[in-house]
Amino acid sequence: MSCGGPHAVDCGKVLEAVYLYLDGEIDFDHKHLVRSHLDECSPCLREFGVEHEVKLLVARRCGGERAPESLRESVLERLRAARIDADAAEFRTE
């Protein structure tokens, strides 16, 4: 995904780091870069909002239980594949 605007950090890199950002598993410098990007890029901010809501919904429905790491990896892999498919489709329409 790319909004087409110039940014210090590429949109795709920011979206790859969204879960790390949401989970507080990102170092201070990268956290600042992600936050700055989200502040200036509406498409990424929208995507971040969707990811945040999904995370909140899962937390609420799972009653505080943590999902197995294998599930997290599987979901992340499917999200990456979906992004690649979406980027390829966007590229074909340009």
Domain boundaries, the chain: 1-63, 67-93
The answer for 63, left when phi > 0, alpha when psi is -120 to 50, beta otherwise, is: left
Q: What one-letter code names the amino acid at 60? A: R
Q: Give pTM, 2 decimals.
A: 0.52
Average pLDDT by stretches of 10, the chain with 94 residues? 64 84 86 87 84 79 78 91 82 66
* pLDDT mean across residues, the chain: 81
Question: Rounded to an integer, what is the distance from CA 33 to the centroid of its chain?
Answer: 14
Q: pLDDT tens for residues 38-61?
A: 888 888 888 888 888 887 777 777
Count the Cβ atoms, other than its own, within 10 Å of residue 59: 13
Q: Are 11 and 90 in contact (CB under 8 A)?
A: no
Sign of CA dihedral 16, 66, 73, 83: negative
Count the Cβ atoms, other than its own, within 10 Å of residue 34: 23
The pLDDT assigned to 17 comes to 85
